Chains A and B, each alone.
Chain A
């Protein structure tokens, strides 16, 4: 049987509603009052953008929401989407001292969303590009989070920026690839508008290398930022893979974002292959769109699953089933070419190496298979665009992590195509850093970031904070791993 939409418009909308709705003003005040206004706060240090979190929360309490939005958006142009999609549990909220004190951190993400929503709804102009222009032009290739982060910062530094985006809309994964119950595409599109309001020009539906040549771009622009993201989803390379009911997770999610919810086809029994956060996004949305059963098929153990613990918990709460140490060996279809199930085998992943255990094969019926095994690197594309560009053996653009500069002096890079695939917030941070790098390159100056007011006084401390020296909270990640066992 071919798969079809399962729910009507109302049921689909209800199932896909915000999992963390916007705070009411009263809720925001109560939550904001929990912030201790730490000095040199750990949350700032844990934020890859170095948002001055205690300051923006304090401003909620004083009714200065315009100032609060300015604090957020000057640090992170995508403050609205990061408020929804950041894994705050392992970033700001994971570092929050209130978590230490009472096992429940200040809900920084939700407070941030409250402020940015307010600014957006009331059309507050909190950011401004300088009226005097530098006369320099920069091409940003790729309109995803890193490109937007780079473009917005460059515009605020007085440069003229043009963003080239292959898809009809900019925003990248924020527009097309986030679980719908976490963020609707409108949020991302509003952020694109914000970047536009700084004077950035967007050329959407334009593929660089096809519709416009690099030669032309190099002629028209003083510097280039490469923020291409990752490529298509990886292939399983299994017999029976190329049938309509075998889809890539990001394509499935993109459909949800580009079609009415009640028009998105979903299977009755859905298998999601993979163990990352995208797999969780896919499996929960399949269930929310009316699948009767949805199963994660992962070739390693539960402990080895790369998805965050709180994401796994979300999936379990929603009734997702898990098959651990199981790998598909064949996709089964009927005579009409529709998926009927998966042939699976048990594995051992001891010593980190996955081995199929002979004689353990079994068949599970499914009518839809979603592949969430990571996206391919774009080495071919890099080579085609910039034959002399230096590529890291991991298949990513090699660049100076502090400035984003590649081996080609006028070409800078950041985001997934340079880091191999991390969070949205990392991409924006890398875009912003590259913007500073480009600014320094064009003006002959040095790159430096502003010191946050609430950190003033500890310059030269052994650990830098936030934007200038992002750090991961490794201890926390270990603690989560321990709790999982």
Chain B
């Protein structure tokens, strides 16, 4: 069994799976249930000094086909419970579960307030602080949350306030609602933060109710921009995590957040540089029990790959992401169809024909062996290999596992990046690659 324990800038937990700051981490009752289920840590729902009042109707979902909550947005603010209640429960939970990571998320305004709340968190026994500089709704209108995270100078300033009194590791949670997240990450580093967590939610409107023309969530006939999360945001989060992991000027440990619902998602974040991962939406959908497969699956994966611990996996995919100009222009792959598996939906054909590069023909089957149930004589899709640009679209739309596959084709040509291509062209060493007809 691989060792799943992690140490994020000094915050230790038996596994990398933490509750993200959000509705599931709002009380001792939930924390107890989560830790009983096996979660490695918790980022307690953000505590602020404002008296929070929430609206009724707070979440809205993007459903795709039969899949519910492919994406979720919310307009809920920080915890609606008093700081006293929260800090008392934090202390109780830490005493009861000493081996789990207890991180307290904070969002206050003045330097004095930051000092007070950081100290109260330390006194409650927290293992770390997470500064919420990312919340994109409500609190940002009051100069907090994303209002801080979107201005690197302000981020840096507030982090320095926190570091003045912090005796435990400090994580800065970053907002994705910014052109280049590494600027905010660098500011956190400049201010002295020990780690970063990302991404917070993305500004969004999930849907407009077409009967009343009010977007969801509908609060008495009006809506507002909410924070978007769930499986649909994972690609954006992975991109931003990789950017921070690859940036030497950031150079901080990362807690990955954004659409993580299972161990595979977690492994991808870790491969792109995350140390721990935080989960919220998947718990809101299925409850704390999902961690069982997360632990089991990740552990099995590490064993299968021969990694003794998570350090073996961490960051392995980071250098595999480079600028476009570093990619090999002479690399060639094409699509191949396995006719034994082809069920005749012709989605590959129409996707290529109308949506991509017109490299698939429909031709008579001419005795081609096909599965039972096929309409006799019905045309079959055939890749015109010389025209196939290897875009992957047909393999992506094919509804049958391993039916359309992408195959690397040896071109016999040496690697040629765009950069090299431009240099060689300038020196007159090669002719221009002919344009696509």
- A38 touches which one: B346, B362, B371, B400 (CB < 8 A)? B346
Once A40-B362, A95-B373 are accepted as A-B contacts, the answer to whether A29 and B66 lie under 8 Å apart by CB is: yes
Residue numbers in A under 8 Å from B65 (CB-CB): 33, 61
A97 near B350: Cβ-Cβ < 8 Å: no
Determine if B369 is an interface residue (Cβ-Cβ < 8 Å). Answer: no
Determine if B163 is an interface residue (Cβ-Cβ < 8 Å). Answer: no
- A100 touches which one: B343, B353, B354, B377 (CB < 8 A)? B343
Determine if B312 is an interface residue (Cβ-Cβ < 8 Å). Answer: no
Determine if B379 is an interface residue (Cβ-Cβ < 8 Å). Answer: yes
A45 near B399: Cβ-Cβ < 8 Å: no
Residue numbers in A under 8 Å from B287 (CB-CB): none
Determine if B372 is an interface residue (Cβ-Cβ < 8 Å). Answer: yes
Determine if B138 is an interface residue (Cβ-Cβ < 8 Å). Answer: no
* Docked CA distance A95–B374 (Å): 6
Residue numbers in A under 8 Å from B379 (CB-CB): 40, 458, 461-463
Residue numbers in B under 8 Å from A461 (CB-CB): 362, 378-379
* Docked CA distance A40–B375 (Å): 11
Q: Mark B293-337, 1 if CB is under 8 A from A, else 0.
A: 000000000000000000000000000000000000000000000
Which residues of A from 279 to 310 have beta carbons under 8 Å from B? none
B376 near A475: Cβ-Cβ < 8 Å: yes
* Nearest-CB residue, chain A, relative to B372: A479
A42 near B66: Cβ-Cβ < 8 Å: no
Name the distance in Å between B353's Cβ and chain A's nearest Cβ. 7
B399 near A463: Cβ-Cβ < 8 Å: no
A36 near B399: Cβ-Cβ < 8 Å: yes
Chain B residues bordering chain A, tally (CB within 8 A): 24
* Docked CA distance A95–B377 (Å): 13
B373 near A99: Cβ-Cβ < 8 Å: yes
- B353 touches which one: A38, A94, A457 (CB < 8 A)? A457
Q: Mark A93-115, 1 if CB is under 8 A from B, else 0.
A: 01111111100000000000000
Q: Mark A28-52, 1 if CB is under 8 A from B, else 0.
A: 0110010011111110011000000
* Nearest-CB residue, chain B, relative to A63: B210
B375 near A463: Cβ-Cβ < 8 Å: yes
Determine if A356 is an interface residue (Cβ-Cβ < 8 Å). Answer: no
Determine if B62 is an interface residue (Cβ-Cβ < 8 Å). Answer: no
A476 near B347: Cβ-Cβ < 8 Å: no
A97 near B343: Cβ-Cβ < 8 Å: yes
Residue numbers in B under 8 Å from A458 (CB-CB): 362, 379
Residue numbers in B under 8 Å from A42 (CB-CB): 344, 373-375, 378
Q: Mark B379-421, 1 if CB is under 8 A from A, else 0.
A: 1000000000000000000011000000000000000000000
Residue numbers in B under 8 Å from A39 (CB-CB): 345-347, 349-350
* Docked CA distance A476–B376 (Å): 10
- B371 touches which one: A30, A41, A100 (CB < 8 A)? A100
Determine if A247 is an interface residue (Cβ-Cβ < 8 Å). Answer: no
Which residues of A from 470 to 485 have beta carbons under 8 Å from B? 471, 473-476, 479
Once A100-B371, A101-B399 are accepted as A-B contacts, the answer to whether A38 and B378 lie under 8 Å apart by CB is: no
Determine if B364 is an interface residue (Cβ-Cβ < 8 Å). Answer: yes
Name the distance in Å between A363's Cβ and chain B's nearest Cβ. 45
B376 near A474: Cβ-Cβ < 8 Å: yes
A38 near B66: Cβ-Cβ < 8 Å: no
B347 near A100: Cβ-Cβ < 8 Å: no
* Nearest-CB residue, chain A, relative to B379: A461
Residue numbers in B under 8 Å from A476 (CB-CB): 372-373
* Docked CA distance A29–B346 (Å): 23
A475 near B374: Cβ-Cβ < 8 Å: yes
B400 near A101: Cβ-Cβ < 8 Å: yes
Name the distance in Å between B239's Cβ and chain A's nearest Cβ. 30
Name the distance in Å between B130's Cβ and chain A's nearest Cβ. 39
* Nearest-CB residue, chain B, relative to A45: B375
Name the distance in Å between B344's Cβ and chain A's nearest Cβ. 5
Residue numbers in B under 8 Å from A45 (CB-CB): 375, 378
* Docked CA distance A61–B65 (Å): 8
* Docked CA distance A382–B341 (Å): 52
* Docked CA distance A97–B374 (Å): 8
* Nearest-CB residue, chain B, relative to A42: B375
Residue numbers in B under 8 Å from A29 (CB-CB): 66
B344 near A100: Cβ-Cβ < 8 Å: yes
Residue numbers in A under 8 Å from B400 (CB-CB): 101
* Docked CA distance A160–B349 (Å): 44
B344 near A471: Cβ-Cβ < 8 Å: no
* Docked CA distance A40–B347 (Å): 9
B345 near A36: Cβ-Cβ < 8 Å: yes
B372 near A100: Cβ-Cβ < 8 Å: yes
Please provide the 9 A-B residue pairs with the shortest distance between their CB atoms, ordered closest to farther: A39-B350, A97-B343, A100-B343, A39-B346, A38-B345, A463-B377, A42-B375, A33-B65, A100-B373
Residues in chain A within 8 A of chain B (CB atoms) = 29-30, 33, 36-42, 45-46, 61, 94-101, 457-458, 461-463, 471, 473-476, 479
> Can you report 15 residue pairs joining A to B where beta carbons are below 8 Å apart?
A29-B66, A39-B350, A40-B346, A95-B374, A96-B373, A97-B343, A100-B343, A100-B344, A100-B374, A101-B343, A457-B354, A458-B362, A462-B379, A471-B376, A474-B376
Residues in chain B within 8 A of chain A (CB atoms) = 65-66, 343-347, 349-350, 353-354, 362, 364, 371-379, 399-400
- Seed contacts A97-B344, A461-B379, A463-B378; 13 additional CB < 8 Å A-B pairs: A38-B344, A38-B345, A41-B345, A42-B378, A61-B65, A94-B373, A97-B345, A101-B400, A461-B362, A462-B377, A463-B376, A475-B374, A476-B373
